């Protein structure tokens, strides 16, 4: 993710055709496969944590997801399924996770079996999966994604229309995300990146980093393991920085009705070296830095 990658970047990768976009997604799949292996290597027995009732979701998303008993939840870009299984644990009747990374989905399926929490996981590009799912009759009460999902989307309009197409009438899209303003700064808080790249890919030669190792135990509520050391990702990666207006407009254009938008002056991830710890695995800017939003959340409903 951007804040951990401070070295070479460029803005010239091709997204002019669906094939070009697909090629970038495939490259991201390779980069996420490498990184996910490193990330999970630092997380102590996650199945045991879940079996014992541990839940790593934050109050922000739990509150927005609302009462889940009896509901179906589709978790897009679910990575290794930890949050998907935590959603199941909150009482959802059925949970479905989708992610492009082979490593992540293999891990998610094992975690589901080992934790005893039932979930369905699909390895697919989110765009292909939503297009395919729309052809079938199944629809979800809630579509959810969070923390570092939206920066991988190469076409916001297509994504939002895909979400609308798989929601039940009256169903809700919910996200809690890192704020695009937060993505503008290096780890030393110097301003280096634009607020939005307006659909242009931001290509990082370093690939997805091992931000779990860099963050230490705050990202591993199941416990910390040393795991992979000095991880170097051989696979480059392509991100897309979208402004909040672009994201909300895409959802409105897909005929979803905005119910909630909030910005937060804290984050659930230590983005910058000088951030200060808050209770509950959260981080704030130091007092001498003028504030800016670090996360946002959205809830939007499909009309009945
Ligand atoms: C930062 S992780 C999201 C983690 C998530 N908050 C969770 O529940 O653990 C971003 C995820 O997006 C996935 N991803 C990136 N591009 C994708 C695409 N085109 N289709 C599906 N998944 C994608 C990556 O494989 C990665 O697992």
pLDDT at 7: 62
Is the C-beta atom of 121 inside 6 A of ligand 1? no
Dist. CA 291–CA 32, nearest whole Å? 31
Is the C-beta atom of 102 inside 6 A of ligand 1? no
Q: Ligand 1 mean position to 76 CA, how many Å?
A: 7
pLDDT at 216: 77
The pairing of beta strand 237-239 with beta strand 202-204: antiparallel
Dist. CA 96–CA 249, nearest whole Å? 26
Substitution site in 1, 4, 79 for ligand 1 pocket (most atoms within 8 Å of beta carbon): 79
Is the C-beta atom of 173 inside 6 A of ligand 1? no
**DSSP letters for 214-249:** HHGGGG-TT-B---S-S----S-EEE----HHHHHH
The partner residues of 284 in beta bridges, in order of sequence, read: 266, 276
pLDDT at 146: 98
pLDDT at 219: 82
Both tokens of residue 231?
A: 């991880």
Task: Phi first, then psi: give them for residue 90, nearest 5 degrees.
Answer: -75, -5
Residue 287: partners with Cβ closer than 8 Å, 6 or more residues away: none
Q: Ligand 1 mean position to 39 CA, how many Å?
A: 13
pLDDT at 202: 95
Residues of the chain short of pLDDT 70, as ranges, are: 1-7
Q: Ligand 1 mean position to 77 CA, how many Å?
A: 4
Q: Ligand 1 mean position to 194 CA, how many Å?
A: 22
- For ligand 1, what atom is nearest to the CA of residue 145? 6
Q: Are 105 and 84 in contact (CB under 8 A)?
A: no
Dist. CA 266–CA 11, nearest whole Å? 29
Substitution site in 33, 40, 77 for ligand 1 pocket (most atoms within 8 Å of beta carbon): 77
- For ligand 1, what atom is nearest to the CA of residue 125? 20
Q: Ligand 1 mean position to 93 CA, how many Å?
A: 23
The SS3 call for residue 282 is: strand
Both tokens of residue 128?
A: 């292909």
Residue with the smallest CA separation from ligand 1 atom 25 is: 101
Is the C-beta atom of 78 inside 6 A of ligand 1? yes
Both tokens of residue 281?
A: 């695995």
- For ligand 1, what atom is nearest to the CA of residue 154? 19
CA torsion through residues 268, 99, 144, 258, sign: positive
Is the C-beta atom of 99 inside 6 A of ligand 1? yes
Q: Are 34 and 207 in contact (CB under 8 A)?
A: yes
Q: Domains of the chain (ranges plus CATH)?
A: 2-301 (3.40.50.150)
Substitution site in 58, 100, 155 for ligand 1 pocket (most atoms within 8 Å of beta carbon): 100
Residue 11: partners with Cβ closer than 8 Å, 6 or more residues away: 197, 200, 201, 202, 203
């Amino acid at each position: 993710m951007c804040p951990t990658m401070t070295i070479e970047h460029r803005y010239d990768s091709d997204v002019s055709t669906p094939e070009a976009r697909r090629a970038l997604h495939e490259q991201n799949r390779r980069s996420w496969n490498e990184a996910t292996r490193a990330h999970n290597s630092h997380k102590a027995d996650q199945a045991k944590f879940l079996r014992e009732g541990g839940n790593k979701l934050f109050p922000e998303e739990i509150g927005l997801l609302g009462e889940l008993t009896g509901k179906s939840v589709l978790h897009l870009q679910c990575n290794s399924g930890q949050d998907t299984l935590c959603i199941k644990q909150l009482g959802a009747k059925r949970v479905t996770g989708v992610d492009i990374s082979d490593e992540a989905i293999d891990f998610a399926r094992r975690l589901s079996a080992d934790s005893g929490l039932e979930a369905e996981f699909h390895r697919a590009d989110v765009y292909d999966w939503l297009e395919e799912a729309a052809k079938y009759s199944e629809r979800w009460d809630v579509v959810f994604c969070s923390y570092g999902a939206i920066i991988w989307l190469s076409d916001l309009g297509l994504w939002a229309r895909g979400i609308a197409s798989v929601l039940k009438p009256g169903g809700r899209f919910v996200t809690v995300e890192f704020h695009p303003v937060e993505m503008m700064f290096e780890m030393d808080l110097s301003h280096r990146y634009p607020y939005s790249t307006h659909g242009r890919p931001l290509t990082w030669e370093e690939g997805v980093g091992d931000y779990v190792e860099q963050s230490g135990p705050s990202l591993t509520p199941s416990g910390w393991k040393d795991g992979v050391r000095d991880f170097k990702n051989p696979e480059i990666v392509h991100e897309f920085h979208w402004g909040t207006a672009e994201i909300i407009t895409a959802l409105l254009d897909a005929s979803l009705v905005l119910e909630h938008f909030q910005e937060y002056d804290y984050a659930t991830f230590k983005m910058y070296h000088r951030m200060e710890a808050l209770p509950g695995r959260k981080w704030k800017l130091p007092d001498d830095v003028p504030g800016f939003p670090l996360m946002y959340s959205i809830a939007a409903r499909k009309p009945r």
